């Protein structure tokens, strides 16, 4: 199975308690999302059986089958969790998954390449694109006034106001 057949839905952050439960930083809309798309896999594509237990400080709490104590749970720290891409809901209205934006060419309104999308982050105030070119990296809020179009076939995203965001990055350096 190809690497692109799987989507990362979370990372195991730490143990929780003494009974082998774990805390997961989830990349889904809600903490139960990790298990709502079917089977969950680790990086070796082995099935990880999880049972949702709750939430603590914005981290999902899960029980892992056959993990019975904190020491065993600690060994899982840093493990990425994946689901099959085909299990995710079909998107509509020109929506895209964040993972599909990574690697796209960032174009300005004149179709000039400014860089490549390296990452999509959200620190609570909205999605932010990290764009990297040969000289530097800079951040652009992914809001409707900055977004002209996304063309997955051409592997590009056209953004407005790129000069403004590039200038802000230069002022801070």
pTM of the full structure: 0.74
Parts of the chain belonging to CATH 2.30.30.240: 98-172
Which CATH superfamily hosts domain 3-87?
RimM (2.40.30.60)
CATH classification number, 98-172, choose in 2.60.40.420, 2.30.30.40, 2.30.30.240, 3.80.10.10: 2.30.30.240
Parts of the chain belonging to CATH 2.40.30.60: 3-87
173 residues of the chain, pLDDT tens digit each: 455 689 999 999 999 999 999 999 998 889 999 999 999 999 999 999 999 999 999 899 999 999 999 999 999 999 999 999 999 888 887 788 888 899 999 988 888 888 999 998 887 778 889 999 888 888 888 877 778 888 889 999 998 877 777 665 555 55
Cα–Cα dist 95/76, whole Å:
33
- Report the sign of the C-alpha dihedral through residues 2, 90, 122, 111, in that order: positive
């Amino acid at each position: 199975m190809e690497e692109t057949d799987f989507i990362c839905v979370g990372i195991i952050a730490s143990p929780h308690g003494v009974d082998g439960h774990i805390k997961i930083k989830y990349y889904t809309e809600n903490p139960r999302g990790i298990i709502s798309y079917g089977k969950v896999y680790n990086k070796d594509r082995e099935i990880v059986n999880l049972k949702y237990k709750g939430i603590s400080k914005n981290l999902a709490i899960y029980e892992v089958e056959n993990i019975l104590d904190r020491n065993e749970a600690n060994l899982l720290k840093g493990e990425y969790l994946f689901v099959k891409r085909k299990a995710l809901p079909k998107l509509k209205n020109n929506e895209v998954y964040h993972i599909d934006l990574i690697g796209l060419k960032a174009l300005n309104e004149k179709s000039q390449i400014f860089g490549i999308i390296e990452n999509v982050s959200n620190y609570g105030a909205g999605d932010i694109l990290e764009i990297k070119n040969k000289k530097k990296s800079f951040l652009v809020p992914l809001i409707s006034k900055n977004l002209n179009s996304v063309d997955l076939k051409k592997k590009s995203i056209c953004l407005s106001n790129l000069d403004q965001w590039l200038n802000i990055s230069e002022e801070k350096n």
